[in-house]
Amino acid sequence: MHLLEKLHILADSAKYDVSCSSSGSGRSGKKGQLGNAAMAGICHSWSDDGRCISLLKVLFTNYCIYDCKYCVNRVTNDIKRASFTPDELCELTLEFYRRNYIEGLFLSSAVIKSPDYTMELIITTLKKLRYEHRFNGYIHVKSIPGADLNLIYQAGLLADRMSINIELPSVESLKLLAPQKDHQTIIKPMSFVSHQIQGANELTIYRKKQMFVPAGQTTQLIVGASRDSDLTILRLTQDLYSRFKLKRVYYSAYVPVNNDKNLPAVNTSPPLLREHRIYQADWLLRFYGFSADELLDENHSSFDTKIDPKCDWALRNLDKFPVEINRAPLETLLRVPGIGYKMAERIVRARRIAPLSFEDLKRMRVVMKRAKYFITCKGAYYGDVDIDSGNLYSLLSEKTDPKIVEGQISMFD
């Protein structure tokens, strides 16, 4: 098979993995090697769906022994199949890298023959890249569920980032939709990698750094293939961040690719708005000091479609507002709808020099559309209605954009 066709098949099969970032490793170039790694990550392009392209994201093969009901590559699907050779993958990675198309390689795979066999193919490829071709750029590698921990360890020594996808947010959904996978085959390697990363960090205090997954571990959850609620997803996320110190949890709005009585029908639009809300909440957990139980509870187990999770929280906690912009501590500013992390920091810096007026905030490019209802500046309130008037929900609701109904939303707003 021609390389062009292989690339087509194996990129097409990898596209539902949404992780794209190339961040978390800062490494300068070395003599005699190709490449470096930028701490913040670099996006190289944006595909027609508006998602960023940073790494060459492909499967090693899409031949699979499993029959997971949600997956396009399940063994019972009649689709075109292909496998790369390690040399083909090296050539593509290096030639793309040298032209600055990509930050590096994201290598995943369906399970061919056995998890161990697949993992060995991946390791062979990474070894060639790192040792034979002296490639010093970014590598993200999947650990294959069920592979021997020793193989996972070897891969971790070669990669910047590792991930293993949980995909289904509860044990019940996993039993229903991926009966051949046991959730222990996912949790065990995740816990193993998490311990190895911490171990490697401790060792660096004593001797020369041995790199083990320096950019950390991530995972992905599918949204909308199973009946799990937003609350279930968010609690799991919180657990993953605190127990396994994951760098990111990604969410993928399920695109129905197979007919099955336990799945949404093919042609159902992917739940993009729901995915968007969960991402917003994920940021609130990681950077804004919120906990899952503040945002959702048993009586309120899914996010509002009209307002974002922070606004939603604020409207249920109006007694905490308005806050004075010149006095509120950083952690309180972070809870004001419309004030992001960067802005909150700027406000804290600037008010040390002189107190801030409403006009000052505008000049600092704080978006006032939502914030004005929740703050005072030097004691004055600038919202056009009173905070207790009961009108805030409708004023803060996002207009029903026809695009949202179609399932297309902007990341900004």
Partner 1 sequence: MIYVTDGSFEGILTAIFEAYEKKEDPESIVSQGFYQISLDSAVKEITTDQEKSRRVYNTVVCKMSKQAIETMYKAWLSEYREIGTALYKYIKMGLKLGPQILSYLQNPDVSLVNGLADKVSFEVHRFMGILRFKKLANGLYYARIEPDNNITMLIAGHFKDRFSDQPWIIHDAKRNIFVLYDTNQVIFINEDIMIDTENDEDRAFEELWKKYFKAISIEDRRNPRLQKQYLPRRYWRNLTEMQ
Return residues touching partner 1 (CB under 8 A). Answer: 3-4, 7-8, 11-12, 14-16, 28-29, 31-36, 38, 40, 42-54, 56-57, 92, 95-96, 98-101, 137, 253, 255, 269-270, 272, 346, 349-350, 352-354, 356-357, 360-361, 363-364, 403, 407-408, 410-412
CB-CB contact of 199 with 214 (8 Å): no
- Whichever of 33 and 229 has its CB closer to partner 1, that residue is 33
CB-CB contact of 75 with 64 (8 Å): yes
CB-CB contact of 178 with 68 (8 Å): yes
- Whichever of 52 and 157 has its CB closer to partner 1, that residue is 52
- At 94, which amino acid appears? L
CB of 196 to partner 1, least distance (A): 28
- Whichever of 258 and 408 has its CB closer to partner 1, that residue is 408
- Whichever of 182 and 355 has its CB closer to partner 1, that residue is 355
CA 74 to chain centre: 24
CB of 369 to partner 1, least distance (A): 18
Question: Residue 102 and residue 43: Cα distance in Å, rounded?
Answer: 8
Question: Residue 127 and residue 138: Cα distance in Å, rounded?
Answer: 14
CB of 101 to partner 1, least distance (A): 5
Distances (CA, A) of 241 to 16, 83, 291, 362: 22, 34, 11, 35
CB of 51 to partner 1, least distance (A): 7
Q: Cα angle at 93 between 63 and 191, to 5 degrees?
A: 65
Comparing CA positions, the residue from 117, 124, 158 lying closest to residue 141 is 158
- Whichever of 246 and 325 has its CB closer to partner 1, that residue is 325
Question: Residue 230 and residue 185: Cα distance in Å, rounded?
Answer: 24
CB of 389 to partner 1, least distance (A): 30
- Whichever of 154 and 408 has its CB closer to partner 1, that residue is 408
Question: Residue 9 and residue 82: Cα distance in Å, rounded?
Answer: 7
